[in-house]
Amino acid sequence: MLDFITRIFNRDSGASKNIAKERLRLVLVHDRASVSPQLLQTLKEDLIKVISNYMVIDEDALEVNLENSENQVALIANIPIKSMKRHADVI
Protein backbone atom coordinates (compact mmCIF):
# COMPACT_ATOMS: atom_id res chain seq x y z
CA MET A 1 0.00 0.00 0.00
CA LEU A 2 2.79 2.42 0.91
CA ASP A 3 4.55 1.60 -2.37
CA PHE A 4 1.39 2.49 -4.31
CA ILE A 5 1.02 5.86 -2.54
CA THR A 6 4.71 6.61 -3.07
CA ARG A 7 4.43 5.93 -6.81
CA ILE A 8 1.39 8.19 -7.14
CA PHE A 9 3.06 11.10 -5.37
CA ASN A 10 6.38 10.63 -7.14
CA ARG A 11 4.73 10.97 -10.55
CA ASP A 12 3.20 14.32 -9.75
CA SER A 13 6.26 15.64 -7.96
CA GLY A 14 8.48 14.45 -10.83
CA ALA A 15 6.52 16.46 -13.37
CA SER A 16 6.40 19.49 -11.08
CA LYS A 17 10.08 19.07 -10.36
CA ASN A 18 10.95 19.08 -14.07
CA ILE A 19 8.81 22.16 -14.71
CA ALA A 20 10.37 24.02 -11.79
CA LYS A 21 13.85 22.95 -12.91
CA GLU A 22 13.23 24.25 -16.45
CA ARG A 23 11.88 27.57 -15.15
CA LEU A 24 14.90 27.97 -12.90
CA ARG A 25 17.23 27.15 -15.80
CA LEU A 26 15.60 29.86 -17.93
CA VAL A 27 15.86 32.41 -15.12
CA LEU A 28 19.54 31.58 -14.61
CA VAL A 29 20.31 31.79 -18.34
CA HIS A 30 18.67 35.21 -18.59
CA ASP A 31 20.43 36.34 -15.43
CA ARG A 32 23.87 35.14 -16.56
CA ALA A 33 23.42 36.75 -19.95
CA SER A 34 22.25 39.97 -18.25
CA VAL A 35 19.21 40.00 -20.51
CA SER A 36 15.83 41.07 -19.23
CA PRO A 37 12.65 39.54 -20.65
CA GLN A 38 11.83 42.97 -22.12
CA LEU A 39 15.15 43.05 -23.97
CA LEU A 40 14.54 39.56 -25.31
CA GLN A 41 11.09 40.65 -26.54
CA THR A 42 12.59 43.73 -28.23
CA LEU A 43 15.21 41.51 -29.88
CA LYS A 44 12.44 39.22 -31.14
CA GLU A 45 10.54 42.19 -32.60
CA ASP A 46 13.68 43.48 -34.33
CA LEU A 47 14.41 40.03 -35.78
CA ILE A 48 10.87 39.91 -37.16
CA LYS A 49 11.31 43.32 -38.83
CA VAL A 50 14.63 42.44 -40.46
CA ILE A 51 13.77 38.91 -41.59
CA SER A 52 10.39 40.06 -42.90
CA ASN A 53 12.27 42.19 -45.44
CA TYR A 54 13.45 38.99 -47.14
CA MET A 55 10.94 36.29 -46.20
CA VAL A 56 7.33 35.78 -45.21
CA ILE A 57 7.49 34.21 -41.76
CA ASP A 58 5.01 32.78 -39.27
CA GLU A 59 5.34 35.38 -36.51
CA ASP A 60 3.02 33.51 -34.14
CA ALA A 61 5.20 30.38 -34.21
CA LEU A 62 8.53 32.26 -33.98
CA GLU A 63 10.57 31.36 -30.90
CA VAL A 64 13.63 33.19 -29.60
CA ASN A 65 15.48 31.88 -26.55
CA LEU A 66 18.82 32.09 -24.84
CA GLU A 67 20.55 28.83 -23.96
CA ASN A 68 23.49 28.42 -21.66
CA SER A 69 26.04 25.69 -22.29
CA GLU A 70 29.03 25.67 -19.98
CA ASN A 71 30.58 29.15 -20.26
CA GLN A 72 28.68 30.36 -23.31
CA VAL A 73 25.25 31.79 -23.92
CA ALA A 74 23.67 31.14 -27.32
CA LEU A 75 20.77 32.87 -29.02
CA ILE A 76 18.49 30.20 -30.47
CA ALA A 77 15.86 31.32 -32.95
CA ASN A 78 13.27 29.04 -34.51
CA ILE A 79 11.70 31.01 -37.36
CA PRO A 80 9.15 29.19 -39.53
CA ILE A 81 9.40 30.47 -43.11
CA LYS A 82 6.21 30.54 -45.18
CA SER A 83 7.86 31.76 -48.39
CA MET A 84 10.74 33.78 -49.81
CA LYS A 85 10.26 37.25 -51.26
CA ARG A 86 11.55 37.87 -54.77
CA HIS A 87 12.74 41.38 -53.91
CA ALA A 88 13.87 42.63 -50.55
CA ASP A 89 11.68 45.28 -48.91
CA VAL A 90 14.52 47.62 -47.98
CA ILE A 91 13.39 50.59 -45.91
pLDDT digits (tens, 9 = 90+) for 45-67: 898 899 999 999 998 888 888 77
Instruction: Please state, in angstroms and as integers, the Cα–Cα distance from residue 35 to each residue in 25, 50, 77, 90, following that order.
Output: 14, 21, 16, 29
Which of 71, 70, 68 lies closest to 35 in space, CA to CA? 68
Within a domain: 89: no
Cα 18–chain centre separation: 16
Within a domain: 91: no
User: pTM for the whole thing?
Assistant: 0.53
Q: What is the pLDDT of residues 12-56, one digit of tens each?
A: 556 677 777 777 766 666 566 667 778 878 888 898 899 999 999
Q: What is the number of domains present in the chain? A: 1
What is the residue range of 75's domain?
A: 2-84
For residue 58, the SS3 value is coil
Within a domain: 90: no
In what helix (H) or strand (E) does residue 66 lie, and over which residues does it extend? Answer: strand 63-69
